[in-house]
Amino acid sequence: MNLSLVLRKIFRIILIVIFRVDWWHASLLYHRPYARDIISELNKRPNRGSILELGCGLGEIIGNARYQKRYFFDVSVRVLRAARFLQIISFRDSLNVYKVFDLLEDTVDEKIKFDSIVLVNFTHGYDRKDLYPRLERLINFNLNRGGVLIFDVIRNNPAYKNNHAISDLIGVDKFRIEVLDGYRFGRKVVIATLI
């Protein structure tokens, strides 16, 4: 690891202590190739007006997405405070919205439409029967036609509570689907464009 990465890691650890967030938020983007690939895919999109990331954590994915308006949603107010702090010190130039949000209990205002919605690193903690109807609602009311839903699935890994297939989470007939794989732990990134 080079000096720059060591300093970023130390900064991240200090941030975690100050904002009192879970230790796994210390993971750097450098160590998560799937996240870098998601950012690349998002920044290639033709329409980049608005983006929502559910379970945004410290906001490394959405924070590096070049969109006019970014919605940072997470279940933890502490995590959102840290994400906001990171955006302020990085001088990002988009309009940001931060909201405490639980996908299984809260709903997104139907008037808000997104060109991209991202959900990674947490769906395997939930059962399909709980996630599918919530994602269906989000797709039907909040995702623009031609918009992209990006999520991850993990198959055949007993370390995770739930191992999902793509069809466990979305109605595949509504989407043009591309899958990126080769990531650790059997993770696959699903890029589903609403048709």
Q: CA 127 to CA 109: how far, in whole Å?
A: 24
For residue 156, report the phi and psi dihedrals to the nearest 5 degrees: 55, 40
pLDDT tens for residues 157-189?
A: 888 888 999 999 999 999 999 999 999 989 999
Residue 88 has pLDDT above 90, yes or no: no
- Reported residue count of the chain is 195
Which SS3 state, helix, strand or coil, does residue 180 take?
strand
pLDDT tens for residues 29-52?
A: 788 999 999 999 999 999 999 999
Q: CA 81 to CA 78: how far, in whole Å?
A: 5
Residue 8 has pLDDT above 90, yes or no: no
Which pLDDT does position 80 carry in this prediction? 96
Residue in the structure block whose two tokens are 């870098």: 36
Interior CA angle at 38 toward 87 and 76, to 5°? 45
% of residues, the chain, pLDDT over 90? 71
Which pLDDT does position 92 carry in this prediction? 66
Q: Residues 6 or more apart from 32 whose CB is under 8 A from it? A: none
Encoded amino acid at 88, one letter: I
The fold of 32-194 is Rossmann fold (3.40.50)
Ordered strands of the 175-180 beta sheet: 95-100, 69-74, 50-54, 114-119, 143-154, 187-194, 175-180
Per-residue pLDDT band at 64 (split at 50, 70, 90): very high
- The reported pTM is 0.92
Which pLDDT does position 195 carry in this prediction? 96
Mean of pLDDT over the chain? 92
